[in-house]
Structure 1
Amino acid sequence: MKRNERVKPAGLGIRIGVVFFIALGMLVLAAYIVIARNVQSMLTDYTLQLLQSMAEQGVTTVEYELRAGRNEIEELADSFFGQGEKKITVPSDESHPDIMRMSYITENQGAASDGRRHNILERADIVKAFSGESSIYGPYFNEDNEYVICYSAPVIQDGKIVGVLSMEKDGYYFCALIESIQFMSTGESYIINAEGTDIAVSNQEHIEWVNERYNAKRVLETENDPVTRSIMELEQKGLNGETGIGTYHWNDGLCYLAYAPIPSVDWVMLAGVREEELAAMTQSALYASITKSPVFNVCILIFLMLTGINIYWIVSSFKKTIAINTRLNTIANYDTLTGTLNRNSFHATLDALSNGQYRSLACIYIDANGLHEINNHLGHQAGDNMLKTVVEVLWRVFSSEDVYRIGGDEFVVFCQNQSEQEINGKCEKARKDLKEQNYDISIGIEWRDSNFNIKTMVNLAEESMKIDKQRYYQANGRERQIRVLDQKLEKMVREKQDADAFLSILASEFKGVYFVDLGNDTIRHLFIPGYFEKMLKESGDVFSKALTLYAKRNVTSRFRQEFLKFCDLGFVERQLDEEAGPELVYQKTDGEWMKLQILKFNTYNKNCRETLWIFTNTA
């Protein structure tokens, strides 16, 4: 009897403990659900801000390319003298590899660099150029079904417009330009023109949107599709000059679409992502924390340990959330190349300064002279190094919190409560420090101690910079820049001569040796056969495209599919990141057996993805 009396309280205690443990588990689960929803909502908001920032970054990239094209045709027009039917001379491949065709048009006749004869006198950009303004037309499919974008500028002699010089470039280049403007795996971006027609896509799987001239408005004229209508309404907002994010339903899922106008040409940049991608990212941190929780036993000690673990988990989750938020803020507000504040931060600072109070304010507008020449002569890595050096000097002279990169080669610095003499002295020091490293900058300064209209100050500083830049080039700044670049090139050539001599001895075994940058799909070759050099030229010096042509024309069908994997530089990059040295033995259509080896170059890292590709004869 006494034994049964002892068992009953013990059983009751166990039952109470089980019930209490279940109740606590339900309470913890409810707390997790509430916290997870709040955290996910907060992360979703930050992620959507990042999506909008990506669209705006795409606008900046496209605007920079359009402005570079305008400047290029204006410079060519300034140095061009049309003489009747004479043949147009295309600039050399080294300085202008992306120009497909040049045309010179007068009111009575026209001539093209490739001898083509088409009447383009009535084309909108030609008409505008005859009125005295440079203009952009396209991208569009011309009379030869080539997808091109045209830049046109008037040719002026003795103060009169005597003709128009027009330059045609590959219109598909804008697809490559926005290829990186996409969010995770299912996101992508695209550009529409003023008529709402797709003119560029980031995902090559959807290139038919461009080739078939997809236009949501025209689709709705023949069929009333709700999804197309939702997309068209968001595109129309961008065409109306609005910037924002909207949603639409597609394939039984919700999609977010950010839109931002490209004002100089009335285009719109759009970037989209599916809701599942957002959910996957925002839930990952919380899910990882849960999966690391221990298995609990029903006892008092483990019960207390479980309570402590749950408290620790909640604190850790919040710390991870803060870390993610900090990372998102960095991506949205800092330039990925130089690490300085970006255009988004610049606009936020404009608003803050408009409401701020200070004794004096200086706006310093800076342009890196010769970036275009450095990119053409030494490659984009050298151009990136120049921009990084400019930022390092500006940080040292001013402050990292006051320097903004607002364009490809343009920077703005704000200085508060400093005298005009101090500002001038710092600017001259920055100019001097950069000149010692063989770099030049143009500077415009607007200093005030009253009447602080921030936007006006920025505009005036920019105008002063342009005057300083004009002064620089009038004083043979371009020739000086070219001399410095030529000295660097001469050193590179000397270093390359020994390699060329060595490879010429081994030419019978080595069929091709190339340095390939996986980041920007560019190539530097030590040893290249003539047929592959022609393929490179045919593909516009894009290595992956030339390699695809090689696979289709020179590799037997038995090995072609395997070889095409190596044309995907993302596949190669993943292989190298896994410490695997990708290689392939294959047979050419002429019966020759070859071996391809891919090695990391000695400077290979996350910022410089340069690799060595070696093709050898295995016979």
Structure 2
Amino acid sequence: MKFLYKLILVLGILIALSCFVQFVVFNKFFISNTNSLLLSTNEKASKDVSMQLMENFNKIQNLVKTVAENEEIRENQELLNKFNEIIPEVDAVTILNSKGDILRMYGNIHSPGVSNLAYRDYFREAIHGNTYISNVFKIASGTKVVVISVPIVKDGSIDGVVVGIVKLQGTSLASMFDNKEFGRSGYISILDSHGYVVYHPNKERIGKKSIIFDKLQGKSGSKIMKDYSGEEQFVGFSKIPNLNWYVTVITPTADIMTSRNIVVYETFLGSVIVGILIILLGIYTIKRYSKPLDNLIFSFNALKAGKYKKIDSHNYGEEFQEMVIVYNSTIERLEKEYNDLEEAADIDSLTGAYNRRAFNNFLSTLNEEISNCSLGSVGVLLLDIDHFKELNDTSGHLAGDNVLKKLAEIMKSTAGDRSVFRFGGDEFAVVIRNISDERLLSIAEAIRLKCEETLNGCTVSIGAAKFPKDTYSIDKLIDFADKALYISKKSRNKVTIFVK
């Protein structure tokens, strides 16, 4: 069973290690994949927003071009004011002549404070025939704006410029992006070609230089960067064609990490719970099977020690029943074979009587019974064949063996099979429990007479003693019977009862 406990210990360690490895690998794999997924998602979102923004600016350009192409609208202040309702994305429209002088304005923006804008980049670009979208700059009032300028073409030549002004902290851009959601805290940020913030949900950031601008390279991409707050963000970016502006979609890593950690730790906790359940199941299984197996091992050890003890099948589960049946059947067979071997070991091979080993064991049993006060009486006869040596010398050992066999048959038929013992040579003993003096003497005489008649000229001398009449000691009882035999041997063919 020690092996099983070691096995469950090793299994527990392996499960713990597998949970740890699974946690590390899954965490790394999960982080890598979620990072890649979020960055890819943000990059795609930035591309979608850049296209939307470009479409919006194209719409504004087309509307401003409408003003530039329609002299009636340009010349009529009332029509210009009505036109503001048509293009609410533009906060103000300014009409400039070919020299940059402001002819008229409409919209919800303050007066620029100057009458000529010829020095502005957007005027110079438009007066040369280009439609132009400016970077972020401040007008005289301090408002941060982006300007869309369109040339006025009259009779094949440029006659002026129409300027559409979009306030960055107004509602036109915000209306496009403030309703965009990217997770719980994700947001859009738009940067001009110099890195200044054109749009940000935090209005205080608009017009300020972005700290991630220098890290944005190429038409599009995604990176993990730190923003102005110093926290890491998932940043997807895309460049707006023809403007060199960047649209960035930013998602804080903290929010994602919180959700991701919940998933990771739930997975780890699930692995730990499964591991614990497996270990508990293993312990239960070992306990269920170890006790019956321990009992079986104990029984086998007892069997090795020579104790043939059957197992009670009621103490074992169904899965052990067949094993118990086989074991008990084996015990029965071994016990029978052992008894047969024991008996064979106690039998004299020539005469079939019990041998000296069996005699000594029997005497030990009698001594125990005397100690337990459970022995009533015992009679002992010691026998010796007269003239046995002369028979062997004259007729041979085969004739002597036949005499020994005949004597054993006579004693067993007279005193009983289990009462006859051969000491060795031509010496025998008869031990009978609970016998009277008269009966002991009668058996001795019957043996002597039958031997006299059938042993081919040989006779027997017999000495007799009895417990407890002669002694309370089994050893002395044998000694007293031997002394009585010595007396019978003097005259031969005689039975002598020991007398103190």
Scaled by the length of structure 2, the TM-score of the pair is 0.47
Q: Which structure has the bigger radius of gyration?
A: 2
Higher-RCO chain (CA-CA 8 Å, sequence separation at least 6): 2
